[in-house]
Amino acid sequence: MVSGKPSAIPDVADRFNFRFAASKLLALVLFSLEPRDLVTGERLAAGQLMSQVQSGHDSSPLLQIFPVRAGEAVEALQSAANRLIQPPHQRGIRRLLAGIDDSRLLLSHGISAAARQAIDDGDSAAFLKLRAEWMRPRVEIFFARHARWDEPDRPRIASLIVDDEEG
């Protein structure tokens, strides 16, 4: 029973840590985009990717696009905007992204044409900013659709009435 929309929802520019609920919710938003494999173009199955992680076979399918180096405290590099869903064994995500011109494939990962251009320019800060800006409205829509902030969550009175004649 939520009293209404919270004052703040998880932001894609905040630090990403899959051990916390906010990051798990943002991962659901990324999966809701129906991401495709950057190599094959096939739609990635969220359940299959996550079950591999839970069974301990692979690392997380939420791969970093730009690496966070020791000593760097750049929050954008540690954000959900710097995560991309791909099979965990794939490497060279930036190289793969640089070679893709298919806008539908890129948008399945929340990467706009402007963000894609930032990768070509080697500007990680611009890429992460542009991707976060593109993702924010989709995060809002995702939460609004699934949380249904304005709808009552109590059962209707009519559904509680038991008819003695039945049965």
Q: pLDDT digit string (tens) for 68-116?
A: 776 665 778 889 999 998 887 777 888 889 889 899 999 999 999 999 9
Q: Compute the distance between CA of residue 93 and CA of residue 72 in angstroms, rounded to an integer.
A: 20
Helix (H) or strand (E) holding 63: strand 62-64
Q: Is the separation of the CB atoms in 60 and 53 below 8 Å?
A: yes
Instruction: Report pLDDT digits (tens) over 5-21.
Output: 666 788 999 999 888 88
Q: Compute the distance between CA of residue 92 and CA of residue 66 in angstroms, rounded to an integer.
A: 10
Residue in the block written with tokens 């730009």? 66
Read off the tokens for 37: 């494999």
pTM for this predicted structure: 0.78
Instruction: Report pLDDT digits (tens) over 39-70.
Output: 889 998 877 777 665 544 446 788 889 887 76
Instruction: Report pLDDT digits (tens) over 88-98.
Output: 777 788 888 98
| Residue 63 CA, distance from chain mean position | 11
